[in-house]
Homo-oligomer: A and B are copies of this chain.
Amino acid sequence: MTDVRFGIIGIGNIGTTHVARFERGEIAHARLVGICDSDPAALARHPHLKGWSDSAAMIASGEVDAVIISAPHYAHTPISIDALSHGLHVLVEKPLAVHQADCDRMIAAHTNPDQVFAVMFDTRTEPRYRKLRELIQSGQLGRIRRINWILTAWFRSNAYYRSSNWRATWGGEGGGMLVNQLPHDLDLFQWLFGLPQRVRAFCPIGKYHPIEVEDEVNALLEFADGSTAVLVATTGEAPGTDRREIIGDNGRVVVYPDRLEFTRTAMPTSEWNATTEKSFGGPETSLETIEIDGKGGHHTEVINAFVSTIRGEGSLIAEAAEGRASVSLANAIILSSELDRTVELPLDPATFEQWLSGKRESSTFDANAATSGGVADMSASFSS
């Protein structure tokens, strides 16, 4: 099979890193044919690549077999649907879409199983999360009872939010942290634990920055089986904390960059609880440190898996349809906060879309004044 011919649509911060991945030769059996951006300056930064100013023209050109869509969030839906309808393979940046109804439209447009449709959940490639998932799925951690995720290592400055006028607006981006910084964490969450049944959240708007959307998330999640989770995230505090604590009937796992600390109970906590005559103090515990080697292949691994799948030689890190769950969770969290009430999952897609369209109408975002604002140094933003 010949190399897969790629186009990248949206050459902003993240799209630029994808161009570089191809140029460094990190993507096997693939060739970057061209790029697409409505901003001529973005194209001019890569003069050796064919440039399209319009995604429809690139998609219809017959010159590309596959596209990576790294355009602003709302554009994921129409561009994906257009590319799928032209028979292309599609890899969409996170989030799959801004809201569930758009996810459903994209998933419905994927009718040909020979076309590969994937979403960029590169965090799933991290060995620490793969190991954690193994501990959960193998039953070693026991029934999950409580999850506490503190995710505040997402500092963003006012300069970041000023860098493009679509950023951090209901009209341009469709929300704040939940649609920009947190999709990976929300995907990991649902990939590890599934989706909760009920959400109570409080997401302050512009707490740290002059923006119209949330820059902090506090969410209480309740699962059908009674287990609970707390999710806390901000883009405004220094130093940031990344602490993920999962408590099962057989102990607690805390996730660190280089290790998992699994404190195992000598017997299941529920059994101790039911049988001990002691009033205070739980079962004995012992700490097991699980060393983690490496940080995972991230975007490069996701794109290579996409190519392998197209070539019939591999499987995806995340199919596009799997991207819907984290969008559901994000939608439920912001809706709970904004309506100041508990929200149940599954959430009706049309109800949320209608609510969001009200926010879009009152948004400060002016599509006619859109700026792409150049490219920031992404090295402090993610692992690879």
Contact = CB atoms under 8 A, between A and B. Distances in A.
A380 B280 CA distance: 6
A201 B202 CA distance: 11
A246 to B, nearest CB: 11
A14 to B, nearest CB: 12
A137 interface: no
Interface in A133-182: 145-146, 148, 150, 152, 155-160, 163
B280 A381 contact: yes
A32 interface: no
Given A277-B159, A280-B160, A241 B252 contact: yes
Contacts of A232: 146, 148, 230
A109 B239 CA distance: 48
Interface stretch (A203-211, A295-303, A309-317, A349-357): A203-211
B226 A238 contact: no
B238 A251 contact: yes
Given A158-B274, A280-B376, A218 B228 contact: yes
B200 A282 contact: no
A273 interface: yes
Interface string A319-341: 00000000000000000000011
A71 to B, nearest CB: 19
A26 to B, nearest CB: 22
A127 B208 CA distance: 32
Contact of A218 (B163, B220, B279): B220
A220 B236 contact: no
Contact of A252 (B201, B236, B239, B251): B239
Contact of A238 (B157, B209, B238, B265): B265
Contacts of A269: 236-238
Contacts of A265: 238-239
Contacts of A294: none
Contact of A377 (B204, B216, B280, B342): B280
A280 B216 contact: no
Interface in A245-268: 245, 247, 251-252, 263, 265
Contact of A380 (B163, B263, B273, B281): B281
A232 B278 CA distance: 24
A158 B239 contact: no
B238 A280 contact: no
A155, A157, A216, A243 interface centre (most CB from chain B within 10 Å):
A157
20 contacts: A150-B245, A158-B274, A159-B278, A200-B202, A202-B220, A202-B222, A204-B226, A218-B220, A218-B230, A230-B230, A237-B247, A237-B252, A237-B269, A238-B265, A238-B282, A239-B265, A278-B380, A280-B377, A280-B379, A280-B380
